[in-house]
Chains A and B, each alone.
Chain A
């Protein structure tokens, strides 16, 4: 029997060329011992006859072979390990273990595909559907890992640059029956080393096959959550790589966002699933291009608003944080210029991982491919990709540097002092020119706003202003100083004016300029006061009209007037008023005239008038015409200011003297003379005031 069994083996071996024979063999007639069959089978496998078998079927299929036979063969091929184990009860040779058999089968599949490829190149038709069935059935039986561990790497290599192989691969998966499609697609998605590879292997399967589409766009993303981030990246990257598939990407994002934004989903689905969906959303966002974002910007915004609300309402901090991270990411994508949403949350591993998903889609695809390359920061650099044997251009922007908040960066405003005493400090001592400038500019307004504080230091301030010289080039320095001086003077005239006027008698030559300005200062002060007095012109207007309003100047006029007028004849080292300094004298006289004019209705007016007439008398023969004009204006103003009763009663002698000087012979009654004089004076005074202003 031994010899006969050997001969039987040989016979069987030779005859098992056709699938039919194999079936017969495996259906096993009782005359043949299982052990012998197994040995034959073992040899069969080791000699690579499976691939021949499958090839035979493919060729037959092209010629429309018998479906029942194919079905049976398929069954036998795929379930061989089980059948053998059943027969041998665990004592089967290693080659029949699933972990060995299916890789072997995978190898056989590749060989068949090779033959198909050659045949196609040769121009012959053949069918791949049997191979697809084998693959499908193996996968659905739970052996994806074993078979794809051989298939995927080999197909990856073969499809690298060969279009025909790519098409073969696509056909392979396309021909898998729908009932097994999920298993195959899932297997590929899980095992492909990157979205790029997946794209080469599956082609547009998701577009052509409804079941594949369902698996990829619905089942994996929304109904399962067991897959790793790498799987998500493969899948979503795969969708993003072809323009036909990109529409699916957008659809996927919309559905994900719907789920993310659904309050019941947030409440009832497990955190792991919510995290999974969040990851998927972030990866989708990372793949979106600007035009696509533009077209669905409003939708994204709406979804974000709804979703973030549901998430923030949750009790679980993890859910809240997921909501915040996703909302921030959406916001950063849709608001490329302008403020983006920013939340504060704890940055731990999970948060960092999530945020890293939002990085530029190209980068994640390359990273998922896990091959090493050199990032060259800076400009556009070529990166060599070993998959495609081609260079990828890559832009690395310096937008990885995040700016800080710069809202505080405003124009620098040097702070001027707020207190009068600080101003004094700055003007007298400070080296800081910016501060000095600012002080000079604000001094007038400060003085006017703080009269009480000014009165405390008025004399000192007036002195400082008098001596103030231009430190830096400010526009309108003189005017600024003068206005400040006027402000100080008006705020506190009584102590200030004598001190100012005392400068008139100073010993220092260099104060001459200030004194000229002092005179003009007083004039300006007078003008300031004049502008507040109502004054009407015209013949017949008597002083009675003017009498109606009280003169605010009343209390202080004497303080201005008398210091000026005193000592004019005393020889000073600075001025020789009665000598060479005619101009100063002339200015003095004119100033006195103005003072006199403004002293109308004041208590001191008569005394002033008397003093003024004395003064005029002493100077009446002065050689300088400017001085004499001044004297005349003095008389005019005196006549206008001093009430007639006082003139005639208290100043008769002086009047007569003046009259004789002016008029020569008296050709009319004194009263008439003075009335004429008055009207003449009023005209001339108008002229004088007009000239002054």
Chain B
């Protein structure tokens, strides 16, 4: 007889708008406070103190347009946020400051979250949907110089890029980009040549979210339909479907694999968060708390495994924090 699923460890309230994106920053040593960044539909970014469960700072930088991506660049004092005001803002939060130090005008009106990758000390690559419909552009930060623009060939009919993931096998190897498109395909791009290495049709509907495990060369994508697709990358850099998993209800907004590659979490349109084992995609738990679509899920980067957390942000304005499978 299995145990009933756990309740959230605590719930963060106070965003007063649907929560679209979450990012943890808990890897620091004492006296660093574990922090959670959240982006909401009303354009605010909240900096949550995970000890007091209250908002420490509120950042308003996107003209009250929905913020759909937040990430830290390097340390918790440098933040990147992306909003529907067609801008990506870089923030300096050290010593209590709340200023936007730089911004990139993406000219893109979509919802595709950008992807960040550290390539060298002080240098990052950021991939984002570009102005033209099917294009993805990659910039280097902080210089904001363009690295490449990835244009699918004429007639490819991929549609808008829906989700992106920059990765590299190890430090020093060439960075690659995995992009999920509106037509349900996942494409692997070579950035240096700006060419497609492999393309795989994973879904019949747009790919809503994807995540990739570079160690095992295996990735997972979710869509607006009922199927999760797991695909792998072989030695010839070709994508192939590994297996699929049918869900009870259709619609996945977000998928994320825990940094220790043991479990993954999906955010569902049916208000539920699902946990699976990453090795064999064994369903482990269905976390039922939210009363509206869950937009995003994120795992924390705690150094101590027993303190690890999972956060989920929903349209019901709440962020639930869970402690699950922390003993492994």
Contact = CB atoms under 8 A, between A and B. Distances in A.
Given A402-B2, A404-B3, A404-B5, A409 B286 contact: yes
Interface string B173-203: 0000000000000000000000000000000
Contacts of B279: 378, 397-398
Nearest to A399: B282
A438 to B, nearest CB: 15
A401 interface: yes
A403 interface: yes
Given A398-B262, A409-B248, A410-B248, A403 B1 contact: no
A473 interface: no
Nearest to A401: B277
Interface residues on A, range: 10 to 19
Contact of B288 (A378, A398, A401, A408): A408
Interface in A401-418: 401-406, 408-412
A401 B272 contact: no
A410 B286 CA distance: 10
B282 A401 contact: yes
Given A408-B286, A412-B249, A403 B272 contact: no
A404 B276 CA distance: 11
B262 A403 contact: no
A479 interface: no
Contacts of B2: 402-406
Interface residues of B, number: 26
A342 interface: yes
Nearest to A340: B1
A400 interface: yes
A412 B288 contact: no
Contacts of B328: 377, 400-401
A404 B284 CA distance: 6
B4 A404 contact: yes
Interface string A341-360: 01000000000000000000
B6 interface: yes
A402 B263 CA distance: 12
Q: Binding site of B, secondary structure by majority: helix, strand, loop or mixed?
A: loop
B259 interface: no
Contacts of A409: 248, 272, 286, 288
B142 interface: no
Nearest to A405: B2
Given A411-B249, A412-B249, A405 B4 contact: yes
A405 B3 contact: yes
Given A398-B279, A398-B282, A410-B248, A404 B263 contact: no
Nearest to A398: B279
B5 A401 contact: no
B284 A403 contact: yes
Nearest to A397: B279
Given A342-B1, A409-B272, A401 B263 contact: yes
Contacts of A404: 2-6, 284-286
Interface string B270-288: 1110000111101111101
B280 A411 contact: no
Interface string A79-117: 000000000000000000000000000000000000000
A403 B282 contact: yes
Contacts of B271: 412
Contacts of B288: 408-409
A559 to B, nearest CB: 46
Given A398-B262, A398-B279, A404-B5, A411 B284 contact: no
A378 B280 CA distance: 11
A401 B3 contact: no
B41 to A, nearest CB: 14
Nearest to B6: A404
B277 A405 contact: no
A342 B3 CA distance: 10
Interface string A322-344: 00000000000000000100100
B248 to A, nearest CB: 6
Interface string A373-410: 00001100000000000000000011111111110111
Contacts of B5: 404-406
A406 B285 contact: yes
A543 to B, nearest CB: 60
A342 B248 CA distance: 27
Nearest to A400: B328
A406 B283 contact: yes
Interface in B125-182: none
B325 interface: yes
Interface in B297-328: 325, 328
Contacts of B262: 398, 401
Interface string B111-123: 0000000000000
Q: Find the residue from A339, A342, A397, A401 having the highest chain B CB count within 10 A.
A: A401
A411 B277 CA distance: 22
Interface string B1-34: 1111110000000000000000000000000000
Interface string B237-253: 00000000000110000
B2 to A, nearest CB: 4
Nearest to B324: A404
Contacts of A411: 248-249
A610 to B, nearest CB: 62
Interface in A397-456: 397-406, 408-412
B285 A403 contact: yes
Contacts of A410: 248
B267 to A, nearest CB: 14
A686 to B, nearest CB: 51
Contacts of A403: 2, 282-285
A399 B279 CA distance: 10
Q: Find the residue from B263, B278, B284 having the highest chain A CB count within 10 A.
A: B284
A86 to B, nearest CB: 63
A399 B284 CA distance: 10
Contacts of B286: 404, 406, 408-409
A412 B274 CA distance: 14
Contacts of A406: 2, 5, 283, 285-286
Contacts of A405: 1-5
A585 B286 CA distance: 62
A664 to B, nearest CB: 71
A236 to B, nearest CB: 28
Nearest to B269: A412
Contacts of B278: 398
A540 B311 CA distance: 83
A406 B249 CA distance: 14
B249 to A, nearest CB: 5
16 contacts: A339-B1, A342-B1, A377-B328, A398-B262, A398-B280, A401-B263, A401-B282, A403-B282, A403-B285, A404-B285, A405-B3, A406-B286, A411-B249, A412-B249, A412-B270, A412-B271
Interface of B: 1-6, 248-249, 261-263, 270-272, 277-280, 282-286, 288, 325, 328
Given A378-B279, A403-B284, A405-B1, 10 more contacts: A342-B1, A377-B328, A398-B279, A401-B282, A404-B4, A404-B285, A404-B286, A405-B2, A406-B285, A412-B270
Enumerate the 9 nearest inter-chain pairs by beta-carbon distance, A residue then B residue, closest first: A342-B1, A405-B2, A404-B285, A398-B279, A409-B286, A412-B270, A404-B5, A403-B284, A412-B249
